Each structure stands twice: as C-alpha cells, then as structure tokens.
Amino acid sequence: MNPRAVEVVVWKELLDLWRDKKTLFAAILLPVVSMPLIGLTVLLLSTQQPVNVAVVDRDDSTYSDPALNVTVSSEWLVGNLTRALEAAGCHVHAYTSEPGNLTVYDLVVVIPRGFSHNATSLTQQARVEIIRKASVQPALNAENTVLSTLSQFSRNLSEVKVRQLALMSGLSPGSFSVNSVLQPVVAGPVLVITPSGAPASPLEQIKPFLAKVLILGLIFVVSPASMYVVDGIVGERERKTIELLLATPLSVSEVITGKLIAASILGLVSSLSDVASLMVYMYLIALSVGGFFWLVIDLKLVLLHAVTAFFTILVTVAIATPFVTRTQGVRSASNIATVVNMIGMALFFSGFMIDYPKIEPSILYPLMAIPYTHSILVIQDYVYGMVYYSMLHLAVLVAVSLLLLYVGVKSVSPEKILLAR
C-alpha cells in the first residue's frame, strides 16, 4: 500500500466532507448546539416548576418546660420551614388548620397538636408529618429541604436541652462538650488518595467521573463515522463515482483505507466536540439541581481519549467494511453499520456505569475479545493510575484496528464493490 496514494484519497475525502455542510452539522455542530441547549432547557424549565407546599401548624402554640427552662414555638418551625422552602423555589402556604383540598399541594407538612409540648419534653419526641405526592419528582427535593430544616431545628433544641441538663446536674460549662454528648462517634477525617497514595486534589477526585463522561462520549462518535463510511463506499457506488476511481492505479485497499482514515478523522473531530458539549451539558444540569460540576480539563486524559476515539472509530469502520461493501444499497449498509454501532454503544454505556478494571478476570478476559473493551480500559486504567496497563490496552486496540483494517480491505475487490448484490 502506497501512503502517498492513501494521502491523495484522504485529501479528496476531506475536501468533499468540508463542503458537505449537512454531514458536518450532524456530526460536529449538532451535538455542540443541542447538548448545551438541552442543559439550558432543563436549567430554565427546572425553575419554572415550583412545588406547592402547605405547612399546616395544627399546634399553633408556644410551650416552655418549667423544669428544663426550654421554650419551643411551632411558629418558629413554620418560619424556618417557610424560609428554607422559598429559598429552594417552592410556593409555601401556611395554615393553622388543614386546608380543604390537599390534592393541590405536592407536599404537605403537618405540625401536629402537642408539638411544642413534646419538643420541650424529656420523655416525648415531637413529630412532624409529611405527605408527599409520589408522581411529582421535585416534591422529593422539597421533602429533603424539610428534613434538613427539621434536622437543624432538632440539633439546636438538643444543644439547649443538653446544656440545661448539664447545669441541673451540677456540671460546670467547661467540663463537657455538647458535641461529645450528641455525637460521641463521628467519621473523619476522610482522606482521599491517588493510586500512588498521595492526597488527591479536587481535580484528581473528579477525574474518574470525567473519564466516564469521555467513555460515554465514544457512543456519539462511532455512529457518524460508520455512516460516513457507508456513504463513502455504497453511496459512491450509487452516485456512480466509484468505478472511475477503481479503474485508476489506486488499489482497492488504498481507496478503502483513505476513506476509513477520513471517516476516523471526522469521528475524532466529532468526538472532541461531543465531549466539550457533554461537559457543558453536565455543568448546566448540575447547576439546575443546585450542585456544582467542576469544568476541569486534564490534557493528558483528553489526548488519550482522542487517540482512543480515533482507533475506536477505525476498528468500528474496519469491522463494518467487509459487510458494507457487499450490500446493494445505502439502506442495508446502514443497517449493518447500526448493528456494529449498537455493540459499541452497549459497551460504552456500561463503561459509564461500571469500573472495568474492577471486573473479575473470569468475566473481563472474555469481554476483551470485543475491541471496545480495550477502548474503555485505556481510559479507566489511566484514571486508576495503571498507566502501563492503559498503554497496553491502547497497543492492543491499535493492533486490532490495524489488523481488522487489513482483513477488511483485503476481503474487498473492485468486482465485489461494483457488482454487490
């Protein structure tokens, strides 16, 4: 195979591709535009779905325990709950008796009669009832806000009670700690370390998640690349441009290899734009739920992902090539490419959820027969700090993709391309 001949084909393919705005839009710009747009839509819509909460203060009383000298007012709790829920974007309605129609509320918080009395007691527990609609997902967020507020209210009350009991028992204020009574056992400090044992920086802590996002991104690159190959071979036959090309001194191997390399370059560019847009999407989604997503870039990881993406695409199109060239039309060729893509998608989605380096060898080794397993392991082993194994899997991926490319192009002849049935 003459590299110069392949270069000529790649030049023509890339020039043709550069002018094919629809394909470029679908492969590169569409994810860049659509993913952040989805994130932005989620962010905007999430603020437009306020949860209706009713806080029913049936107790509506203030009680002071004369022995402990502690006072609790249900009105205080209503005030705390209202502030916290409104800060979370909920619509809060306070009542002193149960409203007639409860179904209009997504969450109802009921402070029962005797709440203040029980809360100040040394023998009773005060309870707050919560009624939540199962079908309303944001109501769960509101419930968490209520539980958090109650927990803080309870903690403050406990501190007051413990101090009073200590005074009553004759302990001097400096001879005990409230925390050692309320929380005698706590976890911590929790030290997060890197695979080498050094303390992990925030970037290193987020890296495994970033790696999984990169693996997920591979899903979006194999599809446009393989469709491009379908178009490049079967489409050229249908457009009557392939026969003239096959009549030149270019060998079929050179023609197909040139097309596969161009497809892989398209996939690589698509991969980088997908990852960028996916990260913007994750950032916006995190914002919408009040969290935070570090927009961090580990250039070595991104470079490793780019190389992995290139060879993952090459392996995909190399697998599809012998079948694609033998099909009669674009539709049947696309179906074959879709089957190959589906295998990749299934594995890459699992790579987003599962840590492959932790899988039992008895399961992992058979999975390694599928080239995509190595794509996942290149990235995950790197994040696990197993750089040697990461490079080993990359070498396997490169070798397998080149071998399949060789087999793929050698199995095709001009006659098979021209006269496929």
Partner 1 sequence: MAVAVRVEHLRKAFGRVVAVEDVTLEVYEGEVFGLIGPNGAGKTTTLRMIAGLVKPDSGRVAVMGLDPFKEPGEVKRVLGYLPEEADVYTRLTGLEHLKFYASIYGGDVDETVRYGAAVSGLGGDLYKKAGEYSKGMKRRLLLSLVLMRRPKIAILDEPTSGLDVYSSIKVRDLIKAFARENRSTIILSSHNMLEVEYVCDRVAFINKGRVVEVGSPSDLKSRYGASNLEEVFVKATGG
Report the interface residues with partner 1, using CB under 8 A.
4-5, 8, 11-12, 15-16, 19-20, 239-241, 243-244, 246-251, 413-415, 418-419
The contacts found for 122-130 with CB under 8 angstroms, 24 or more apart, are 122/65, 122/67, 122/68, 122/161, 122/165, 126/72, 128/77
CB of 1 to partner 1, least distance (A): 12
State in angstroms the smallest separation of the CB of 22 from partner 1.
Answer: 11
Cα 320 from chain centroid (whole Å):
28
Q: Closer CB to partner 1, residue 262 or residue 315? A: 262
Q: Choose between 289 and 419: whose C-beta lies nearer to partner 1.
A: 419
* Residues paired with residue 91 on neighbouring β-strands, in sequence order: 52
CA distance linking residue 119 with residue 128, whole number of Å: 11
Q: Which residue number, 12 or 58, has a Cβ lying nearer to partner 1?
A: 12
Nearest CB to partner 1, comparing residues 15 and 297: 15
Contact 9, 255 (CB under 8 A): yes
78/261 with CB nearer partner 1: 261
Closer by beta carbon to partner 1, 186 or else 244: 244
Q: Which is nearer to partner 1, 144 or 413 (CB)?
A: 413
Least spacing, CB of residue 347 vs partner 1, in Å: 35
The alpha carbons of the chain give a radius of gyration, in whole angstroms, of: 31
Q: Output the six-digit token pair for 341.
A: 């893509």
CB of 317 to partner 1, least distance (A): 20
User: Please, which residue, 23 or 118, has the CB nearer to partner 1?
Assistant: 23
* Between 164 and 251, CB nearer to partner 1: 251
CB environment 118-155: b (16+ within 10 A), e (fewer): bbbbeeeebebeeebbeebebbebbbebbeebbeebee
CB atoms within 10 A of CB 268: 22
Calculate the alpha carbon distances from 6 to 100, 340, 343 in Å: 78, 25, 29
Q: How far is the CB of 286 from partner 1 (least distance, A)?
A: 41
Rounded to a whole number of angstroms, the minimum distance from the CB of residue 268 to partner 1 is 21
CB of 397 to partner 1, least distance (A): 31
CB of 247 to partner 1, least distance (A): 4
State the nearest-atom distance from the C-beta of 236 to partner 1, in Å.
Answer: 9
